[in-house]
Amino acid sequence: MNVVFRVDASLLIGSGHVMRCLVLADELERAGHRCVFACTPLEGDMRAFITDSGFSVVTLAAPKTVIQAQSDADYGTWLQKTIEDDAKNFLEKVHSADLVVTDHYAIGKKWQSKVVQSINCRLLAIDDLAREHCADLVLDQTLGRSRGDYSSSSNSVLAGSEYALLKPAFSRLREEALSRALPTTPIRILVSMGGVDAPNATLEVLKSLCSHVQAHFTVLLSRRAPHYKQVSNWCKQRYDVTHLDFVSDMATLMLEHDVAIGAPGTSSWERACLGLPNIIVPLADNQTLVSEQLVKYGAAVKVDLENISTEIQSAYEAVCNDWHEMKGANLALCDGLGVRRVTLEMEQLFSSNREHLSLVRATPSDIETVYHWQCHPKTREYALNPRVPTWSEHSAWMEKKLRTASDYFYMVTHSTISEKVGVLRLDRIEPNHYLVSIFVNPECYGQGIATQALQLIDALHPELTLHATVLKANSASKRLFENARYQQVDEENYIRKPIC
């Protein structure tokens, strides 16, 4: 499919929207699709960076006048033109597309409906603000978001941090991160406030924390930042501070550090995927919900911008004291596979099979449903442990499983109607080796659900080695795994080696 991204970057907007769209575009191109970006020329834009990343850029009309934003939340000024003018200009430059992706706080239902009607395309809306959209698919990677937040926008909503758009390197390094431990000294601290950091929180953090803790600091701040020279010159005077203006491998950089200090944007999910305890400093109004959720789940300590000088040291001590707990809390929030999940859902928009299946992370609300299926005689017949568990045994077991960040517990779900039809688990045996367990709602036997679920696992986890144990008498499961190209290694064990 031909995909056009409508997204901007500027000193006001920042770089996050473009960066996450680039992650999605990379994954789409790997899957054989073609991606183009449509951007307005603005001060601090990233058109050259997008081009250097290998994508064509359609440059839209430059703003005729400068419209001053009255606050961080004055999103209407992000376009620097009217919605009507932007949509008209977009359609003058983009004559056809199979799918348009909008990731822009100034673009919503009005712009989207005009474009969809004009070029007869599908549309994916990426948002963080629970606004109304005219879209076939809505993506909001905010922790705590639900489908209901976009009930008037689309029947298909991907909500929550399991859909966070991260580069594949993060999911690859997650296996390493699962076994990371806090060293003695010195602690390695990564300070990264985003690509712009207009209020210069970076320098305030450094002045308030350096010389007060035994640590080595790495500062990541790009040349696009308005305070770049000031921060760079300050860092040069410190033996314990290294300043970087760009890294191509953020995942490795994070894995090399023990604590992070940053804004609660997309980097929140990068830190979570790698279990990196962190201090967050909100820099914009749209980061409020993410901040609240990260603190609620014990993944971060929040310090407000105006309180950096008085609170950053105590926040750092709190992170070090609770480091192991915060590591686990972060790992539980994001597994780094969101971009694969989103790509699969985008491809399904063009599939003839509209009643497709998805693998959705199980939650405590699924415990009772899973118990009823577990107790069914057909489920127990070929279970490795045929004894029917008591309710208390099952609930305690599943609650523990859901808290285990190293395992994957999926509900097999009909995407369009959100009906749960089965369970698929991957339990970690050792790094990169997982045991597959699968069973289907007894009312849904004979529909090919288990076969489709294993195909989804192949798409989501191609780099893992998967093991399956099947009782000798379970001929149906034997056929299932053999047809899924698992190799039989002995009488009851099968293996699927990495397929990428």
Q: What is the mean pLDDT of the chain?
A: 94
Is residue 90 located within the same domain as residue 212?
no
Residue 290 belongs to a domain with what CATH number?
3.40.50.2000
Residues 99 and 181 both lie in one domain = no
Mean pLDDT over residues 2-15, rounded?
95
What lies within 8 Å, CB to CB, of 378 at 6+ separation is 442, 445
Cβ–Cβ contacts within 10 Å for residue 464, how many? 23
Given a contact cutoff of 8 angstroms between Cβ atoms, the answer to whether 44 and 11 are in contact is: yes
Q: Show the domain range for 54.
A: 2-163
Provide the 10 A C-beta neighbour count for residue 381. 11
Q: Residues near 413 by Cβ (< 8 Å), separated by ≥ 6?
A: 357, 358, 359, 360, 419, 420, 421
pLDDT of residue 355: 65
As a whole number of angstroms, the distance between CA 251 and CA 276 comes to 11
Q: Is 207 exposed, middle or buried, given 0-12, 13-18 or 19+ CB atoms closer than 10 A?
A: middle
Choose among 219, 228, 220: nearest CA to 44. 228
User: Does residue 341 form part of some domain?
Assistant: no
Q: Is the pLDDT of residue 482 over 80?
A: yes
Of the three residues 163, 187, 222, the one that is the final residue of a domain is 163
pLDDT (tens digit, 9 = 90+) per residue, 416-460?
667 999 999 999 999 999 999 999 999 999 999 999 999 999 999
Extract the tokens encoding 234: 């300050």
Instruction: Give bridge partners of residue 38 from the DSSP assignment.
Output: 6, 58
> What confidence score (pLDDT) does residue 274 get?
98
| Residue-wise pLDDT tens digits, 450-470 | 999 999 999 999 999 999 999
Domain shared by 236 and 268, yes or no: yes
Give the pLDDT score at 417. 65
332-374 pLDDT, tens per residue? Answer: 999 999 999 999 999 999 987 656 899 999 999 999 999 999 9
Strand arrangement, sheet containing 493-496: 357-361, 408-414, 419-430, 433-440, 465-469, 493-496, 487-488
| 107/194 same-domain check | no
Residue 354: the pLDDT is 56
Contacts of 272 (CB under 8 A, 6+ apart): 161, 164, 299, 330, 331, 333, 334
If asked whether residues 140 and 246 sit together in one domain, one would say: no
Is 226 domain-assigned? yes
pLDDT at 141: 95
- If one counts every other C-beta atom within 10 angstroms of the C-beta of residue 365, the result is 8
Q: Coil, strand or helix: which one is 234? A: helix
**pLDDT at position 176, please?**
94
Residue 491 has pLDDT above 70, yes or no: yes
Per-residue model confidence as pLDDT tens digits over 202-231: 999 999 999 999 999 999 999 989 999 999
Residue 377 CA to residue 386 CA, distance in Å, equals 9
Tell the residue number behind the tokens 């040349």, with chain if given. 223
Determine whether 347 is exposed, middle or buried from the number of CB atoms within 10 Å of its CB (0-12, 13-18, 19+).
middle
Predicted local distance difference test score (pLDDT) of residue 275 = 97
325 with 361, same domain: the answer is no
Secondary structure class of 138 (helix, strand, coil)? strand
* Residue 394 pLDDT greater than 90, yes or no: yes
Same domain, yes or no: 145 and 180: no
- CA 463-294-406 angle, 5° bins: 30
Q: What is the predicted pLDDT for the residue at 490? A: 95
Name the CA dihedral angle for 23, 405, 295, 249, rounded to a multiple of 10 degrees.
-30
CB 121 within 8 A of CB 97: yes
Pick the last residue of a domain from 331, 362, 383.
331
Q: What is d(CA 57, CA 98) in angstroms, rounded to the nearest whole number? A: 17
* Predicted pLDDT of residue 76: 83
Bridging pattern class, strands 2-7 and 137-140:
unpaired
Query: How does pLDDT run across 119-167, given as a tens digit for each residue?
Result: 999 999 999 999 999 999 999 999 989 888 998 887 789 999 999 999 9
pLDDT top residue among 416 and 17: 17
Mean pLDDT, residues 391-418 taken together: 92
Q: Give yes or no: residues 79 and 205 share one domain.
A: no
Residue 346 located in a structural domain: no
Question: Which amino acid is it at 455?
Answer: Q
**pLDDT class of 37 with cuts at 50, 70, 90:** very high
Say if 266 falls within a structural domain: yes
Q: Is the dihedral of CA 15, 19, 22, 24 positive or negative?
A: negative
Would you state the pLDDT for residue 416?
A: 64
pLDDT in tens, 372-390: 999 999 888 888 888 899 9
Is there a single domain that holds both residue 316 and residue 192?
Answer: yes
Residues in a beta bridge with 100:
4, 123
Question: Do 140 and 189 reside in the same domain of the chain?
Answer: no
Question: Which pLDDT value is given to residue 23?
Answer: 98
For residues 88 and 94, what is the distance between their CA atoms, to the nearest angstrom? 10
Is the Cβ–Cβ distance between 209 and 319 less than 8 Å?
Answer: no
At 162-205, the pLDDT tens digits run 999 999 999 999 999 999 888 777 999 999 998 889 999 999 99
Taking only the tens place, the pLDDT of each residue in 52-109 is 999 999 999 999 887 777 777 778 888 999 999 999 999 999 999 999 999 999 999 9
How many domains in the chain? 3
Q: Does position 1 have pLDDT exceeding 70, yes or no?
A: yes
